[in-house]
């Protein structure tokens, strides 16, 4: 397969030709919007945080702080490596460079499966929240498959228009939800929290060193999924050796501070001794909306219902963009059909990859709808959870790649002193999070042991498929095998 790439200004591409992504279209701010939007902060605060508080009580905020610090350590080593390998392809590219082509393609297929699972499952969450918003605010009852279908078309259309436009839209949505949550936080501070006053139980050893806190660490980790995708935009970034690390560090720091402060304030709103009882009596799903209504008035409840819908849509679009770039990279390297690497001459959008991803999502969402499945308990939980586990596995492999890559470097001058220690520490911490998530998988899914085994089993199967495919390519298509990992940019 030819690897020649036409210029973005070309007016047409031959059938099956690999196109180029639009260079210099994203700065650090745009990339930060893309990756933070994937984490859907408002959705985390409304959905995951109340569950974390219910389980760990006043220690819940500290879980987000611990995870954020761990991911920052991982990012230090990972960014040191990415600045020495100027290729586009995310974890797949860097794992291939350090651990070999078989492991690299295993990671590539795992990434493709994991991010698709994350994105497609979220259509169920969008449908549930959009249905609740329309019923509560406008008194309209719309079937959830219709709402998921509308979101699917909207995501495809936004992805088709170009990454720079998508980044602007995500930026607006992210700013809106951040302002809303900031206003709620200020309201809690101004009104003084609960009658028992502001407490420091978040750091009390009696609250932190408990089995419940360990469970919440796994939940907290899922809230950061997406920050690592900054490297997927290397080809489209301005001065990527500065922009990519800057966006990564900003994303991790912003999410850590945001989650910690908001979770702490929500605990203080009801008191460290009473908040778990309140959530237990009133329900996890209504906690944020009840808090907004009591502190800001009932209009705020409607505003938050609307913003959570836009927050989930932003996550769908952000993951869609990430998936398209993984698909593009694998097509560019000859692993997937070359047609999936075609881009629009006008804006460099990998439009065939985007169309394929949207068709796959439509098939899976449609299948769940026809089966009469629950959009939250089944479409979201069953499809999304393997993606979370898969991304943790990818981060462990990436941390191992950092260590191997720098240990092999002959020149100490090009081996930052912190890279190997950060890689080792990051890998160990990611492994701890993986164990916590797998051991407590029932908390995430609410499913039986058999269903949980199938959900987790998707991950090793996807990874092994990639390894087997690499061996098939090595024997049958040596040129394609040689291309695994991608060319230097």
Please tell me what DSSP assigns to residue 126. H
Query: What confidence score (pLDDT) does residue 349 get?
Result: 85
Under a CB-based contact definition with an 8 Å cutoff, are residues 406 and 419 in contact?
yes
> Are 267 and 202 a contacting pair, CB within 8 Å?
yes
Enclosing H/E stretch for 94: helix 90-99
What per-residue confidence (pLDDT) applies to 3? 38
DSSP-derived 3-state class of residue 237: strand
Q: Pinpoint the alpha helices (H) of 134-208.
A: 144-161, 163-191, 205-208
Beta carbons of 326 and 108 less than 8 angstroms apart: yes
Q: What is the pLDDT of residue 1?
A: 37
CATH of region 28-482: 1.20.1740.10
Sequence-distant (≥ 6) Cβ neighbours of residue 46 within 8 angstroms: 287, 288, 289, 304, 308
Give CA torsion, residues 165, 167, 170, 171, to 10 deg: -110
Q: By C-alpha distance, which of 446, 385, 436 is closest to 66?
A: 436
Domain boundaries, the chain: 28-482
**Closest to 420 measured CA to CA, from 98, 86, 69, 90:** 98
Report the pLDDT value the prediction gives residue 285, as an integer from 0 to 100: 86
Q: Give the C-alpha separation, 116 to 157, whole Å.
A: 17
Query: What is the number of other CB atoms lying within 10 angstroms of the CB of residue 412?
Result: 9
Tokens 């973005």 locate to 8
Q: Which residues contact 43 (CB under 8 A, 6 or more apart)?
A: 125, 308, 311, 312, 315
| pTM for the structure as a whole | 0.89
SS3 category, 26: strand
Contacts of 354 (CB under 8 A, 6+ apart): 156, 159, 160, 320, 324
Q: Which residue shows structure tokens 């393997």?
A: 386
Chain centre distance of CA 138: 31
CB 58 within 8 A of CB 284: no
Q: What is the model's pLDDT at position 218?
A: 87
Q: CB–CB of 320/357 below 8 Å? A: yes
pLDDT at 383: 95
- Cβ atoms of residues 195 and 39 within 8 Å: no
Please give the Cα distance from 233 to 322 (Å, whole number): 8
pLDDT at 10: 36
Residuewise pLDDT in 10s, the chain (489 residues) = 333 333 333 333 444 456 666 675 788 888 888 888 888 899 999 988 999 999 999 999 999 999 999 999 999 999 999 888 877 778 999 999 999 999 999 999 999 999 999 999 999 999 999 999 999 999 999 999 999 999 999 999 999 987 777 778 888 888 999 999 999 999 999 987 777 778 888 889 999 999 899 989 988 998 998 888 888 888 888 888 899 999 999 999 999 999 999 999 999 999 999 999 999 999 888 899 999 999 999 899 999 999 999 999 999 998 999 899 889 989 989 999 999 999 888 777 899 999 999 999 999 999 999 999 999 889 998 999 999 999 999 999 999 999 999 998 756 667 888 999 999 999 999 999 999 999 989 888 888 999 999 999 999 999 999 999 999 999 999 999 999 987 654
Is-contact 54 274, C-beta < 8 A?
no
């Amino acid at each position: 397969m030819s690897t020649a790439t036409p210029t973005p200004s070309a007016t047409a591409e031959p059938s099956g030709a690999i196109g180029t992504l639009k260079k210099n279209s994203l700065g650090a701010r745009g990339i930060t919007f893309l990756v933070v939007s994937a984490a859907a902060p408002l959705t985390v605060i409304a959905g995951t945080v109340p569950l974390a508080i219910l389980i760990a009580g006043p220690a819940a905020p500290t879980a987000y702080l611990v995870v954020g610090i761990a991911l920052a350590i991982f990012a230090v080593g990972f960014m040191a490596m990415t600045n020495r390998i100027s290729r586009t392809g995310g974890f797949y590219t860097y794992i291939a460079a350090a651990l070999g082509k078989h492991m690299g393609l295993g990671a590539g297929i795992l990434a493709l499966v994991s991010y698709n699972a994350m994105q497609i499952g979220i259509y169920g969450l969008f449908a549930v929240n959009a249905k609740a918003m329309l019923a509560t605010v406008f008194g309209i009852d719309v079937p959830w498959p219709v709402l998921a279908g509308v979101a699917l078309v909207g995501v495809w259309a936004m992805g088709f228009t170009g990454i720079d436009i998508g980044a602007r839209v995500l930026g607006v949505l992210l700013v809106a939800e951040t302002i809303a949550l900031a206003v709620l936080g200020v309201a809690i501070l101004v009104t003084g929290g609960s009658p028992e006053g502001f407490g420091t139980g978040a750091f009390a050893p009696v609250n932190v060193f408990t089995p419940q806190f360990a469970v919440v660490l796994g939940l907290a980790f899922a809230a950061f999924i997406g920050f690592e995708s900054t490297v997927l935009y290397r080809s489209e970034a301005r001065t990527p050796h500065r922009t990519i690390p800057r966006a990564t560090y900003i994303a991790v720091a912003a999410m850590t501070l945001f989650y910690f402060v908001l979770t702490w304030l929500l605990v203080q709103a009801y008191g460290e001794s009473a908040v778990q009882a309140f959530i237990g009596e009133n329900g996890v799903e209504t906690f944020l909306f009840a808090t907004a209504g009591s502190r800001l008035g009932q209009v705020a409840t409607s505003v938050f219902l609307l913003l959570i819908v836009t927050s989930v849509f932003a996550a769908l679009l952000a993951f869609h963009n990430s998936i398209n770039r993984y698909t593009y990279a694998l097509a560019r390297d000859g692993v997937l059909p070359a047609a999936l690497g075609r881009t629009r001459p006008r804006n460099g959008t990998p439009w065939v990859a985007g169309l394929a991803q949207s068709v796959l999502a439509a098939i899976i969402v449609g299948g769940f709808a026809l089966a009469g499945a629950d959009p939250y308990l089944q479409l979201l939980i069953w499809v999304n959870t393997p993606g979370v586990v898969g991304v943790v596995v990818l981060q462990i492999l990436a941390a191992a790649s950092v260590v191997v890559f720098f240990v092999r470097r002959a020149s100490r001058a090009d081996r930052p002193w912190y890279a190997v220690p950060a890689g080792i520490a990051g890998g160990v911490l990611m492994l701890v999070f993986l164990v916590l998530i797998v051991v407590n998988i029932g908390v995430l899914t609410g499913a039986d042991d058999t269903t949980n085994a199938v959900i987790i089993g998707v991950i090793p199967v996807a990874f092994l498929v990639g390894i087997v495919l690499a061996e098939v390519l090595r024997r049958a298509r040596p040129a394609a095998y040689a291309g695994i990992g991608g060319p230097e940019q």
